[in-house]
Amino acid sequence: MPGFSDGPPGCVKNCNAEPEDKCAKAKKYYSQKGTAKLPNNADYGKFGWESKRTKIENGKSKPKWHGGVDVPGEIGDPVYAVTSGKVFTGTQKDLGTYVQQTSGKGDQEYKTEYAHLSKILVKNGDVECGDLIGYMGRSGNVPDSSPTHVHIQRYLTKKTYKNPEDPTTLIFGK
Ligand SMILES: [Zn+2]
């Protein structure tokens, strides 16, 4: 699988590449992939999009709100970190196999999550923006009608995932 080199062979880390370089490459990679579309051409990759799929809440059916951005691809496509910070890996019903990354400090501490992975390549610890962290998959809640994608969501740690922030700029750059 392709990854972004940190430098020449024998180089331990960042010998001739600044972290910003691989970070920019990761954002370009995601920009080229764009956002996932449903068969009806609805922009399923869009943050905040209200899906026609519904969920039942308090006995009422309501549109399912999309709290992240879906970048489409094939099972096994690389997933790169879009920010720098400590990661923690896990498995959950909706997110499937996922990586959660903590960045920033205090009131500006964020969690960024990369979901539905087929494989995780990092251990708990520090990850730089642009590092290869895993491969795309269909783990967790990915309906048959949805294309394979990585779901990337972000929220302030103090607010929880129910109050997500739009990660579009973070993922695709400007
Ligand atoms: Zn999603």
Q: Find the 76 Cα to ligand 1 centroid distance in Å.
A: 17
Residue 67 lies in a domain: yes
Q: How many domains does one find in the chain?
A: 1
Residue 6 lies in a domain: no
Which domain range does residue 39 map to?
A: 19-172
Confidence of residue 1 (pLDDT cuts 50, 70, 90): very low
Q: What is the DSSP letter of 106?
A: G
Q: Find the 151 Cα to ligand 1 centroid distance in Å.
A: 4
d(CA 162, CA 160): 5
Q: What is the pTM of this model?
A: 0.83
149 carries an active-site annotation: yes
Residue 13 lies in a domain: no
Helix or strand (DSSP H, E) at 96: strand 96-103
Residue 10 lies in a domain: no
Q: Find the 117 Cα to ligand 1 centroid distance in Å.
A: 12
Residue 108 lies in a domain: yes
CATH of the domain at 97: 2.70.70.10
Q: Please determine, for residue 136, whether its predicted confidence score (pLDDT) is greater than 90.
A: yes
Residue 9 lies in a domain: no
Which amino acid, 166?
Answer: D
Q: How many CA atoms lie within 13 A of 36 on its CB side?
A: 23
Confidence of residue 162 (pLDDT cuts 50, 70, 90): confident
Q: How many CA atoms lie within 13 A of 32 on its CB side?
A: 5
Q: What is the pLDDT of residues 4-20, one digit of tens each?
A: 555 445 666 666 666 66
List CB-based neighbours of ion ligand 1 within 5 Å. 68, 70, 151
Which amino acid, 56?
Answer: I
Helix (H, G, I), strand (E, B) or coil at 32: helix
Residue 54 lies in a domain: yes
Residue 44 lies in a domain: yes
Tokens matching residue 103: 């960045």
Q: What is the pLDDT of residues 83-130, one digit of tens each?
A: 999 999 999 999 999 999 999 999 999 999 999 999 999 999 999 999
